[in-house]
Amino acid sequence: MVSERAAADPEGGSLPPRLVLASASPRRLALLAQIGLVPDEVRPTDLDEAPLKGELPRHHARRLARAKAEAAAGSGEGSFLLAADTVVAVGRRILPKAETAEEARRCLELLSGRAHRVFTGICLRTPAGRVRERLVETRVRFKRLSAPELAAYLASGEWRGKAGGYAIQGLAGAFVLGIVGSYGAVVGLPLYETACLLEGEGYPVRRAWAQGE
C-alpha cells in the first residue's frame, strides 16, 4: 500500500525522504500517525515467526524485527525502512500469537493475576544502508481474571492474532492493574525510541507538526 505524495513541496522545499513500514499492522500505523508520521508505503513481510530452540524472548523480538527489515528491503531503494516485532513473555516462555480460542485461553490463564513482560524490537534501515536497532522492555500486571471475564473476552474475538492472546488498547485494557515502561511498545511500537532512531539518522520527524498536517 502506498500513500499519496505531493508532486512538490508547497513552500518550494525538497520532499522529505520516503518512509516504508514493514508491517501491515493497523496498530503500528495508528501509532505512527499519533506523532504525525504517515508511511509512504506499507510493505508487510511473511516470515516464520516460531522461536528458535532455547531462544530468549528479548533475542526473539530483536531477531524478528531485523529479519522483517531485511525481508522488506528493496535493492538500493533510498528509503527509511522501519520494522518491529512484539513478544509477550512469562519468564523465559514466549507466548504465541493466539489463533484459536483455546490457545488464547491458555495464554490468559497464565497471565491472570501476575506480571509479565513485553519485549518490542525495532529495526531501522537507512537510505545509506545503515541498520539501527532498539529493544524496549515493558512490565504489565494483570488482575486475576474471573471465569465470566475470561469467557466474555474469548467470545469477543479480540484475542485473535494477538501476542499473548490480548490487545491492551482494546477490551483487555480493563484487565491491566499497572504498566511500567512503554504503553506504545505493548500496543506494537514504542514511539519515543522510534522517533529517536529516525531523528538520529536525519529523518524529519517533526516536519508535519509545524505545517499542521
Assess contact for 73 and 105: CB atoms under 8 A: no
Is residue 46 part of the annotated active site? The answer reads: no
Show me where the domains of the chain are located: 19-211
Q: pLDDT by residue (tens digit) across 83-98?
A: 999 999 999 999 999 9
Give me the pLDDT at residue 16, please.
73
Contact 127, 80 (CB under 8 A): yes
What confidence score (pLDDT) does residue 39 get? 94
- Whole-structure pTM value: 0.89
Q: How far is CA 56 from its chain centroid?
A: 18
H-helix segments, 43-131: 57-72, 101-111
Residue ranges of the chain whose pLDDT lies below 70: 1-14, 75-76, 212-213
Contact 84, 136 (CB under 8 A): no
Residue 75's pLDDT is: 52
User: CA angle, corner 83, sides to 134 and 99, nearest 5?
Assistant: 110
The torsion of the CA quartet 104, 109, 113, 114, rounded to 10 degrees, works out to -70
pLDDT of residue 9: 45
pLDDT score for 14: 64
- pLDDT confidence of residue 212: 59
3-state secondary structure of 28: helix
CATH number for region 19-211: 3.90.950.10
The predicted pLDDT at position 153 comes to: 98
